[in-house]
Amino acid sequence: MQIVITAVGPDNRGLADPIVHYVTGHGANIAEIQMYDHDEACLFAMLLRIDMPADEYDALEEAMRAIGREKQLSVRVWSPERRAARPRLAICTTYRMEPPLALLRALRDGQIQAEAALMLGNRPQCRSLAEQFNVPWHMIGNDAGVADDERLVELCDEYEIDYVILARYMRVLPPASCWKYAGGRIVNLHHGLLPSFPGLRPYQDAYASRMLTYGATCHFIVPELDAGNQIIHQQTFTVPPGMPLADIVRLGQEDNEPRCLVEGVRRVVAREVQLHFHRIVARRR
């Protein structure tokens, strides 16, 4: 069974030792280890991907919980195989309703075999969607839209979330949150064609260079800021010269972005793709 262990702590000293010692002593094969030391942010993190017999999972989880308590680490154990038939999704939103709406419909209609277990917003705009589709809703933003990042992780833990879907969620997840759900569990919809058009205004940037192709990108979030190579799906459309920007944005937001998100989440849930040493790979089956 493929198992992902993540550990996050405030101190580099002894972060890796007890966890690594346990797994190598209990018959696991180490497939991948990544460690990071963001000393300026006092953030130390490790991702461990191992193969281990499935019947060791509960003992492992218990052991990791004990290590976390003892060493003051935030440790998580997860396997993509445990709820593979029907993984649980958290859908994070801000203003735009089209992408979460398309995703909720695809879940309802069985186009994506997963459960909408939780909806979040740092703004209240998408609350009605949660009510309409009967999904638990939590508001995590203050009056200025600043999100409570720790609350987001707590809720995902509490609702036993497998995949966190950022459906035009317009806040940057802090590195600690990315590490806690590392290993290909956070999926983002970016409303531009990566890597060419990152940033907050990809339609405007592409328009400014008189591009005729516009696109959206569905990708895994990995914990380093400058990472690339995690594109799950891209959806594009082409316009004739002279189309006004407002029309292009409308085409993108109302049609292209929702389609991109739905197909991207479908691929993740169906485990057609996975992260492997920070790169996306098609899963061999």
* Contact residues: a second copy, CB under 8 A: 12-14, 16-17, 20-21, 24-25, 29-37, 39, 46, 193, 195-196, 209-213, 215, 228-236, 238, 240-242, 267, 272-273, 276-277, 279-282
User: Minimal distance in Å, beta carbon 157 to a second copy?
Assistant: 26
User: Closest CB to a second copy among 158 and 272?
Assistant: 272
For 261, the 3-state DSSP assignment is: helix
DSSP structure class, residue 4: E
Return the closest-CA partner of residue 168 out of 261, 267, 262, 263: 261
Conformation bin of residue 33: beta by default, left when phi > 0, alpha when psi is -120 to 50: beta
Conformation bin of residue 100: beta by default, left when phi > 0, alpha when psi is -120 to 50: alpha
User: Minimal distance in Å, beta carbon 116 to a second copy?
Assistant: 24
User: Closest CB to a second copy among 143 and 226?
Assistant: 226
User: Minimal distance in Å, beta carbon 261 to a second copy?
Assistant: 14
User: Minimal distance in Å, beta carbon 187 to a second copy?
Assistant: 13
CA distances from 5 to 14, 39, 165, 262 (A): 16, 21, 20, 28
Is the alpha carbon torsion for 216, 117, 96, 148 positive or negative? negative
For 285, the 3-state DSSP assignment is: coil
User: Closest CB to a second copy among 117 and 216?
Assistant: 216
User: Minimal distance in Å, beta carbon 234 to a second copy?
Assistant: 4
CA distances from 141 to 144, 188, 257 (A): 7, 19, 24
User: Minimal distance in Å, beta carbon 204 to a second copy?
Assistant: 13
User: Closest CB to a second copy among 101 and 239?
Assistant: 239
Is the alpha carbon torsion for 204, 205, 210, 214 positive or negative? negative
User: Closest CB to a second copy among 166 and 206?
Assistant: 206
User: Closest CB to a second copy among 89 and 194?
Assistant: 194
